[in-house]
A and B are shown apart, each in its own frame.
Chain A
Amino acid sequence: MALFATPRSLARLRCRRRLFLRSFSSEHARDNDIVIVGGGPAGLALAAALASNPTAKNSLKITLIEGGDLSKIQDWSMPPNAYSNRVSSITDTSQHFLNKIGIWHYVEHARTNPIHQMQVWDGISGARITFDASEIPESNEMARMTENLNLQRALLRKLSDTPSVRVIQSVKVESIQREAGDRNDWPLVHLSNGATLRARLLVGADGFNSPVRSFAGISSYGWSYDTQAVVATLNHAPRGPFQAPNNTAYQRFLPTGPIAFLPLSPCTSSLVWSTKPHLAAALNKSSPGVLAQLINAAFRLPEPSFQYICKRLLEGVNSSEEIKEEIAFRERSDGISSHSAYASATSMISDGGISPDDADALPPLVISIQQGTIASFPLRYNHAESYLGEGAGSRTVLVGDAAHTVHPLAGQGLNMGLGDVDALSRCIIQALTHGGDIGSYTALMPYARERYFENHKVMSAIDKLHKVYSSTAQPVVWARSVGLEVVNELDSVKAALMMNAGASSRLQNANGWDLFAKSVGSLAGAASTSKMVGEMVGAGIQVLAKNAGERFFGRH
């Protein structure tokens, strides 16, 4: 990789054999086989995947453009006990891919943490599902928590050994145009440093607001969730001597959105708390001490009590002492004993090292929040209508968040992007070995076919899950809790649900999500009709049982 912060004289006069072409093409544009816009995880991984293949490496001229400063990421380092607030769960499938392209060993493993178990429960009914990696054959972890910067740095380090990929950083794509003329015109990418790149294939890895997607005229379908995700890095005491290490991820579905606790090290974890914007704003503004208490309460207090605490926060109660008082009061009135793991205000630090019986059902108590790690992001659902540009937008392809954005509750966004990159790089290499034009629709079609519906399935399952859990209507809550408990009983269904987190083949993954979507769908369906509650639950169980049966009897 050659890092060009301010590349001079990019424009190079290209000499063409045939005189008459002059008028049709931009003489000052620099020809590239692939121009990747976006140096996020998806864009960098695509460059690295292509660079790892000898065929692609030797025959393609690749340029990646990133508006931000990548040299900072390449030199990124943090003390061992401090962690960035942007963390992603990297699934086994993604790890296999990163291994295959020679990236995984550039990732600093000491800063990653395996997830062996996931506990997910309904904020209102308390119904709970537990996923355990030991139940997945041939896999000892469900996913690995990895800081996005750790992954991006690994990708950049790999690319720094690869002169065939040119990375232009701190330079923005200002506009994209179609070459004049009505022949096989290529996209022209105009950069903020005045240079212009001509692309055989233009890849949009440029995130949610993808300029490449707009250029290609690809519309995108979706909505904003009216939800913000508050993130932070949390400090807590290590797990007790009789407890499992900090390898369990916890997620509680509150009616305002899920709150997730994702382990990073024995005494550090990452928070992703999705909630309504006004509450997110209040959480964002509150002092680290108050936020720590609110997080503990959010995992522990009965839902009405927690709602009350939030109300108090919004009313302006924002001192640490006042919040502690409020929480302690609710705990007393809810009859939570101070020895219970559900007590947070009264037993901030467990005494004597003996943990309460129910401690494994909850994340450890947060003691403090790492400085400068509180931030929030808007959440949305979005799926591009197509991954390939056509007509005036031809020779463009979308990957990662430029193609799709999902709610982070299942930790799939980045993993889907890596899945795209895997498929697209294979598709490009295949076209190369067949002498194809890698910018052509024919060459890229297999990529879109492999990924579009696969992603769509995962996305709609996540979306349905989000919807069904944000309801507080009594019948829905009841149906949902019964549904969840049914899920807990049916091992085969659970195994299917776990496929998304664990390794396994792509096929199993797909089946898992299918089943997931169907089960959740049946609950959502039940929620939207106003029939007898019993009937609804019955229908839900029926579908679940049917799905389970199908798995038992091996129909797929």
Chain B
Amino acid sequence: MLSAAVRPTTRLLRFCQNTRCFQSAAATSSTVNAAEIAHFSRLSSLWWNEQGEFSLLHRMNPVRVHYIREKLLEATWEDQGEDARRVLESKCAVLTGMDVLDVGCGGGLLSESLARLGARTLGIDASESNIGIASTHASGDPQLSSSGNSLQYRHTSAEQLVKEPKRFDAVCSMEVIEHVDNPVAFLSACAQLVKPGGHLFLSTIARTPLSYFITILAAEYVFHKVAVGTHTYSKFINPSELISFFQTYRSSPSSSSNPTNSGHIGSDASPRPWITHTYAHGLPTRSEAEVRGIVYIPWSGEWKLMSRSSTPWGAVECNYLFWVRRPLDS
């Protein structure tokens, strides 16, 4: 569990900046030169080396996808009943027909999985290098490179993307929010990108003594698993903070599916917040939002999604997943 919160993306980003500056996005430009390809191939094989320094991240990915799948099945049950849920469950590609955004896609670990599950996937990253790495890697896989543009990468940010009209059935941002300077603005941007009835998935690190010990003291200073300065304790975000954000967050009318109608929303039709009910211990109801801890089990080398009942807070002492759904009628 010691290096549970390794943040490879940032580290690699630094590494990329130190080596060589990337000129143009490999995947989108038609004037790609061989040196660039070689450069990104090298970085890509580093990033995608599953037993290399990003191994923990690679191992975490199946748990994230498992959780996304689980919540989508649950939402289908909620909206359309048991039969629809079963039909979806029997399909391998549970995301077929969905538009999914991966904010801070890094080398494309989650984006590739989302695309394999059938989603029209857009991966965005603030680092041009990461976009190069992700595009290069995906292009080597015939399933991803030949399935009709289902996986795309762009060098941009959530804040920029909001300015475009496109909205998504699901927005995912894994291990990003603890690194941004203005988490409230970041959360709002992510939330605005979600279609009504759509999903927002986040994963991050709680601000607890344990997380301080694991991610900063142990990982950065004692074991040097992660470069010093990778994490800033004060930037860690607790689940209760995410919940309270969405207790007050209302979708702005302009972000609804039909922006031209925005002027007609009257005062009593003002959209409701994403989280309307919480239990006594502060947790939301399961159909609106959910928090689940994920824990690295060193002896099995796997991450484990904690059960809902493990503690009222789902064992969210360190790494956790957060899901919230935008109300259909907002």
A: residues with CB less than 8 A from B are 14-21, 23-25, 31, 54-55, 58-59, 181-185, 200, 390, 430-437, 440-443, 445-446, 449
Contacts and interface: CB of A to CB of B under 8 A. Distances in A.
A111 to B, nearest CB: 36
Nearest to B137: A184
A54 B91 CA distance: 8
Contact of A435 (B30, B37, B44, B65): B65
A445 to B, nearest CB: 7
Given A182-B45, A434-B113, A435-B65, A59 B92 contact: yes
Interface stretch (B17-25, B54-62, B159-167, B168-176): B54-62
A14 B142 contact: yes
Interface of B: 26-27, 30, 32, 34, 37, 41-42, 44-45, 48, 50-51, 58-59, 61-62, 65-66, 69, 90-94, 112-117, 136-137, 139-142, 145-146, 300-302
A21 B139 contact: yes
A99 B302 CA distance: 31
A434 B116 CA distance: 9
A432 B92 contact: yes
A21 B140 contact: yes
A420 B124 CA distance: 40
A437 B32 contact: no
Contacts of B34: 20, 23
A442 B66 contact: no
Contacts of A430: 62
Nearest to B115: A435
Contact of A440 (B41, B50, B66): B50
Nearest to A390: B51
A59 B147 CA distance: 13
Contact of B37 (A20, A54, A433): A20
A20 B146 contact: no
Nearest to B36: A20
A528 to B, nearest CB: 32
Contact of A18 (B41, B90, B137, B139): B139
Nearest to B64: A434
14 contacts: A19-B30, A20-B32, A182-B42, A182-B45, A184-B45, A431-B62, A433-B69, A434-B69, A435-B115, A440-B58, A441-B50, A441-B58, A442-B59, A449-B300
Contacts of A23: 34
A437 B141 contact: yes
A462 B32 CA distance: 59
A14 B301 CA distance: 38
A181 B140 CA distance: 11
B42 A442 contact: no
A183 B140 contact: yes
A316 B115 CA distance: 72
A185 B42 CA distance: 12
- Ranked 10 nearest A-B pairs via Cβ: A435-B113, A435-B116, A435-B117, A55-B92, A441-B50, A434-B65, A184-B140, A434-B62, A183-B41, A442-B58
Q: Which of B42, B65, B116, B142 has the most CB of A within 10 A?
A: B142
A435 B69 CA distance: 10
